[in-house]
């Protein structure tokens, strides 16, 4: 049996659809480039029929990604398949991933059909998709709750129709490891043409067993694993790919398989996905959590100092985690910045050196000493907040006095027009800033979430503010970064206002096109 396990990443499809706010095309492309650099075999980048935005994202990623196969999702509906193929038409080779429920529960209560009709729909859709590509994956939705007889029956028909990858999803995270391995073993033993297809699994984490189920499936004979970076996804999430990948690497003695993944890119990819998706990584998260390689117990500290392997089964450097102390000052030049960014695994195309250098100089003047996490954070924020944005904060003044009143004065550049506004509130300086900005823009915004994260340690740590707002039934995410949390709070709202403005322009253009 093949010892290579194919990694299908669905961060940009199954992971993204569970976020509080949808990612834009630029953000999705950034993640896609990271996944490509990490060496994922296949990336499922969207569900093109779901929206014009998703179609555009799939189309853009298809044009730019060269080293990973692009895959799109489609229901057993002809138009879904046509649109999926159209979105990926610039690729030399692509995959169409079709899905249809096969469990009795779903067939009867959701689809209102019988199993024979399900087989007919599935086979018809496969034949339709084969007009565009010979790489078809079929997911038997809710497979873990489908009777084994029915599952074997439909899988045989699908493979006979030309399906190269059969996916067995544990759609609602119901299965436990020995149940899933039982399903895989039965398919291998009972389906006569199973050797013509690769068995894949797509596990959800509702009972906290997604990774365990995926590992048991590999041991039973599955050779494709589907999951997401950091395990993001619907409800409790998907299989965390970084955990699967490192389990395969560390326990090769037991599993006897390998992947094509570039392990050095795991940590960086995890961090970028976390930031762009606004999904913080829990400190105790396996592999990529901030506590994953920390030791508090005196006994453990002593053991690690004597021999790292006493209490660490993974070398932090093997996932690209480098603890680099940067002694950079305002006298440092661009060459030094580029050198250290390269040391952290970033390419020149990942950031704008001129913008990063300007931001670095300002921070160096404030802090004196700059660290790797400072540069990384600055590079990310500068990418989020381009100077060509419609709204630009030109001046900010805040006063708070003992009677709890706070007053904010704001000068905002709106396109080519300067607007000045002030606001007074007893709810604090941040609320005063936001009220002043809202008076200028006249956007009826409701603040849903405000989160402050310290990027670094000590009094000079950068403060990153993440906010989530609601505007006309849509949610928008904003981020700001500065040593002053008042300044970072203002930047986060400016980021949101620019995102809203862009959305309004898109809607305006769509209306004009319809006319």
Q: Are residues 263 and 237 in the same domain?
A: yes
Confidence of residue 172 (pLDDT cuts 50, 70, 90): very high
- On whether residue 96 sits in a domain, the answer given is yes
3-class secondary structure, 360 = helix
Return the minimum-mean-pLDDT range out of 270-274, 444-448, 503-507: 503-507
pLDDT > 70: what percent of the chain? 90
Confidence of residue 59 (pLDDT cuts 50, 70, 90): very high
pLDDT digits (tens, 9 = 90+) for 349-365: 878 888 888 888 888 87
Q: Are residues 98 and 53 in the same domain?
A: yes
Residue that finishes a domain, picked among 277, 292, 320: 277
In the prediction, which pLDDT does 290 show? 82
Cβ neighbours of 291 (radius 10 Å): 11
- On whether residue 327 sits in a domain, the answer given is no
Strands 462-471 and 446-455: antiparallel
Question: What are the backbone dihedrals phi and psi of residue 391, each rounded to the nearest 5 degrees, phi first?
Answer: -100, 130
Q: Residue 196: pLDDT above 70?
A: yes
Query: Would you give the distance in Å from CA 250 to the centre of its chain?
Result: 24
Give the domain range for residue 195. 6-277
Confidence of residue 159 (pLDDT cuts 50, 70, 90): very high
Q: Are residues 184 and 90 in the same domain?
A: yes
- On whether residue 328 sits in a domain, the answer given is no
pLDDT digits (tens, 9 = 90+) for 312-370: 889 888 998 866 555 677 777 788 888 778 877 777 887 888 888 888 888 887 766 67
- On whether residue 113 sits in a domain, the answer given is yes
**Helix intervals (H) in 17-107:** 25-38, 52-64, 78-87, 104-106
The stretch 392-403 carries a mean pLDDT of 85
Q: Are residues 377 and 401 in the same domain?
A: no
In the prediction, which pLDDT does 491 show? 87
For residue 157, what is the domain's CATH number? 3.20.20.70
Tell me the CA end-to-end span of the chain in Å, nearest whole number.
Answer: 58
Domain count, the chain: 3
Q: Are residues 356 and 408 in the same domain?
A: no
Confidence of residue 74 (pLDDT cuts 50, 70, 90): very high
Cβ neighbours of 423 (radius 10 Å): 18
Average pLDDT, the chain: 88
Q: Are residues 172 and 223 in the same domain?
A: yes
pLDDT digits (tens, 9 = 90+) for 90-103: 999 999 999 999 99
The stretch 100-108 carries a mean pLDDT of 97
- On whether residue 311 sits in a domain, the answer given is no
Q: Are residues 264 and 357 in the same domain?
A: no
Q: Are residues 82 and 199 in the same domain?
A: yes
């Amino acid at each position: 049996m093949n010892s290579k396990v194919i990694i299908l990443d669905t961060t940009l499809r199954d992971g993204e659809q569970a976020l509080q706010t949808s990612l834009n095309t630029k953000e999705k492309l950034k993640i896609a480039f990271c996944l490509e650099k990490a060496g994922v075999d296949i990336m499922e980048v969207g569900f093109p029929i779901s929206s014009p935005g998703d179609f555009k994202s799939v189309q853009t990623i298809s044009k730019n990604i060269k080293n990973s196969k692009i895959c799109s999702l489609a229901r057993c509906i002809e138009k879904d398949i046509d649109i999926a193929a159209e979105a990926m038409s610039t690729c030399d080779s692509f995959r169409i991933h079709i899905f249809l429920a096969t469990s009795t529960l779903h067939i009867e209560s959701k689809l209102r059909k019988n199993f024979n009709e399900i087989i007919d729909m599935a086979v018809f859709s496969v034949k339709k998709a084969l007009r565009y590509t010979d790489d078809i994956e079929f997911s038997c939705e809710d497979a873990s709750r489908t009777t084994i007889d029915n599952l074997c029956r439909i899988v045989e028909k699908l493979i006979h129709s030309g399906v190269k990858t059969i996916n067995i999803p544990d759609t609602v995270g119901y299965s436990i490891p020995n149940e899933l391995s039982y399903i895989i073993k039965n398919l291998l033993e009972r389906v006569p043409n199973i050797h013509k297809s690769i068995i894949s699994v797509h596990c959800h984490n509702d009972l906290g067993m997604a990774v365990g189920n995926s590992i048991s499936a590999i041991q039973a004979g599955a050779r494709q694993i589907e999951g997401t970076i950091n395990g993001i996804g619907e409800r409790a999430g998907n299989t965390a790919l970084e955990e699967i990948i490192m389990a395969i690497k560390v326990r090769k003695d037991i599993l006897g398989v390998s992947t094509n993944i570039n392990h050095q890119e795991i940590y960086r990819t995890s961090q970028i996905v976390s930031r762009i998706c606004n999904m913080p990584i829990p400190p105790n998260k396996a592999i990529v959590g901030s506590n994953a390689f920390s030791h508090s117990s005196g006994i453990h500290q002593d053991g690690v100092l004597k021999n790292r392997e006493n209490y660490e089964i993974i070398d932090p450097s093997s996932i690209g985690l480098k603890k680099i102390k940067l002694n950079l000052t305002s006298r440092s030049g661009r060459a030094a910045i580029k050198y250290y960014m390269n040391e952290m695994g970033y390419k020149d195309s990942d950031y704008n050196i001129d913008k990063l250098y300007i931001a670095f100089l300002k921070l160096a003047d404030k802090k004196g000493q700059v660290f790797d996490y400072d540069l990384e954070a600055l590079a990310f924020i500068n990418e989020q907040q381009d100077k060509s944005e419609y709204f630009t904060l030109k001046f900010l003044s805040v006063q708070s006095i003992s009677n709890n009143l706070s007053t904010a004065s704001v000068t905002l550049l709106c396109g080519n027009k300067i607007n000045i506004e002030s606001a007074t509130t007893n709810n604090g300086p941040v609320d005063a800033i936001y009220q002043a900005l809202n008076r200028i823009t006249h956007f009826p915004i409701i603040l849903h979430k405000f989160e402050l994260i310290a990027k670094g340690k000590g009094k000079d740590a950068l403060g990153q503010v993440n906010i989530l707002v609601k505007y006309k039934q849509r949610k928008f995410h904003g981020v700001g970064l500065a040593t002053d949390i008042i300044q970072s709070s203002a930047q986060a709202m400016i980021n949101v206002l620019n995102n809203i403005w862009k959305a309004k322009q898109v809607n305006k253009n769509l209306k004009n096109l319809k006319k």
